[in-house]
């Protein structure tokens, strides 16, 4: 039966959900708090599709590492000290989740989601003549020190045991992988299944596909309230406009917790602010995307430009730019790529976006038991782009057949209820 589906949020998760729901014959309306011309988290990210990222954010050692990094204002991770019960509650849940058992359970699911999403990206590239620049060349985890290379080598072995190809490379082997650029590293781990694309173009492609399929958009309307009758939602009110539907999907990113709370949903979330700087004409252009391991910086060639981004700053739901975070990126990058200097970033306006981070590092995907016709798809943290298409496909399966094609019990939106 075809349904009227209302999707709250026009980021990559919302648009992917709209696309796969429309393919199944449903009538779809997407509502977003921003105008159509926007630059949220789905646009300025590193554009990576990463089956290599099968370890959730909540993992052993992350608490200690985070505390260490907090002493350095330019480090990859920062929590702004503040009296915030939500932050303290999130931190306690993160600490409880950061166990080997959690990683063991989560890794196979994250692997399956990433590989399935990669296949979706390839299908979309074929459909659209790859107008969003999907490049399936793999990714290098670049290690400045032998210690980091040893640790990443152990991770590569774990990846291979999970069926994710990985190859440990020395200094000279790494140089041969991308001879177009000099790298000062001890070595790397190469993940051939990883990919990259231009996120702004991917979002534009999705919008064109949705327009062609008759999906309706309601822009610049801030959510106000749910209209409920018994165990069902009948409509939402956004900026004094009522929008009715048979099914409602919450894809509101960092705002999902507040919106869901009006339904009694408990979706613990913190906004993890990330930054990126895009050089329109870099002095040299790598062919492969990479992650600078010790600095936690992502580097992605996008056509003739180069995007460099990273950091995880938890300072609340605000879009203020912290100059220290930018300095950390600008100073660390040339240490790996000596053909660049800090001057190459001069005049570049930094982008910033808010990643929705759950305490256990896993997204919330599935129907809530609170209401019969409400589904949640949010909390993807740094994996939003990478897992966007598979999330949309799974939600479309839930709304159509009642059962997703993958076992996503670990992602249940009521797990903190």
Structure confidence at residue 62 (pLDDT): 75
Task: Decide if 384 contacts 11 (C-beta within 8 A).
Answer: yes
Examine the pLDDT at 312 and tell me if it is beyond 90: no
Domains and CATH numbers, the chain: 4-42+201-268+361-411 (3.50.50.60), 49-98+133-196+269-357 (3.30.9.10)
Find the range with the poorest average confidence among 4-8, 79-83, 325-329, 375-379.
79-83
DSSP code for 163? T
Residue 314 to residue 198: CA distance in whole angstroms: 26
Find the range with the poorest average confidence among 130-144, 269-283, 317-331.
317-331
Residue 270 to residue 89: CA distance in whole angstroms: 10
- Would you place residue 164 in the very low, low, confident or very high pLDDT band (cuts 50, 70, 90)? very high
- Would you place residue 153 in the very low, low, confident or very high pLDDT band (cuts 50, 70, 90)? very high
Task: Decide if 250 contacts 374 (C-beta within 8 A).
Answer: yes
Structure confidence at residue 83 (pLDDT): 84
Task: Decide if 30 contacts 7 (C-beta within 8 A).
Answer: yes
How wide is the angle at C-alpha 50 spanned by C-alphas 266 and 335, nearest 5°? Answer: 110
For residue 312, which phi and psi values (nearest 5 degrees)?
Answer: -130, 105
Residue 318 to residue 225: CA distance in whole angstroms: 22
pLDDT in tens, 198-246: 999 999 999 999 999 999 999 999 999 999 999 999 999 999 899 999 9
Report how far apart the first and last C-alpha atoms of the chain are (Å, whole number): 31
Nearest to 358 by CA among 282, 279, 271: 271
Please, what is the angle between helix 384-401 and helix 100-127, to 10°? 80
Nearest to 28 by CA among 47, 46, 11, 14: 14
pLDDT in tens, 62-98: 777 776 777 677 777 877 777 889 889 998 999 999 9
């Amino acid at each position: 039966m075809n349904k009227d589906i209302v999707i709250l949020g026009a980021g990559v998760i919302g648009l992917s959900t709209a696309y796969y729901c429309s393919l199944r014959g449903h009538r779809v309306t997407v509502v977003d708090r921003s105008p159509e011309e926007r630059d949220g988290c789905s646009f300025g990210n590193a554009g990576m599709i990463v089956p290599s990222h099968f370890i959730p954010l909540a993992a052993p050692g992350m608490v200690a590492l985070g505390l260490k990094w907090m002493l350095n204002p330019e480090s990859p991770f920062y929590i702004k000290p503040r009296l915030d019960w939500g932050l303290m509650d999130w931190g306690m849940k993160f600490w409880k989740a950061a166990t080997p058992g959690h990683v063991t359970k989560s890794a196979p699911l994250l692997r399956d989601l990433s590989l399935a999403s990669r296949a979706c990206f390839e299908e979309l590239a074929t459909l659209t003549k790859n107008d969003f620049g999907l490049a399936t060349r793999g990714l290098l985890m670049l290690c400045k020190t032998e210690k980091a290379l040893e640790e990443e080598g152990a991770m590569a072995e774990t990846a291979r045991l999970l069926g994710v190809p990985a190859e440990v490379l020395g200094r000279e082997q790494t140089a041969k992988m991308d001879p177009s650029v000099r790298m000062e590293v001890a070595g790397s781990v190469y993940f051939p299944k990883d990919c990259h694309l231009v996120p702004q173009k991917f979002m534009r492609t999705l919008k064109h596909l949705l327009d062609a399929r008759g999906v309706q958009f309601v822009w610049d309307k801030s959510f106000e309230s749910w209209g409920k009758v018994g165990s069902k939602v009948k409509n939402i009110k956004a900026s004094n406009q009522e929008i009715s539907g048979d099914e409602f999907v919450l894809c509101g990113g960092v705002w999902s917790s507040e919106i869901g709370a009006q339904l009694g949903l408990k979706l613990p979330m913190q906004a993890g602010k990330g930054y990126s700087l895009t050089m329109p004409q870099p002095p040299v252009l790598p062919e492969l995307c990479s992650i600078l391991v010790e600095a936690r910086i992502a580097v992605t060639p996008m056509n003739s430009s180069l995007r460099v981004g990273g950091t995880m700053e938890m300072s609340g739901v605000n879009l203020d730019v912290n100059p220290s975070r930018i300095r950390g990126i600008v100073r660390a990058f040339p240490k790996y790529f000596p053909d660049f200097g800090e001057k190459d970033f001069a005049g570049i306006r930094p982008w910033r976006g808010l990643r929705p981070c759950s305490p256990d590092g896993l997204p919330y995907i599935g129907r809530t038991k609170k209401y019969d016709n409400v589904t949640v798809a949010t909390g993807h943290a740094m994996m939003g782009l990478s897992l966007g298409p598979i999330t949309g496909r799974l939600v479309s399966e839930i709304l159509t057949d009642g059962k997703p094609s993958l076992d996503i019990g670990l992602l249940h939106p009521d797990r903190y209820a």
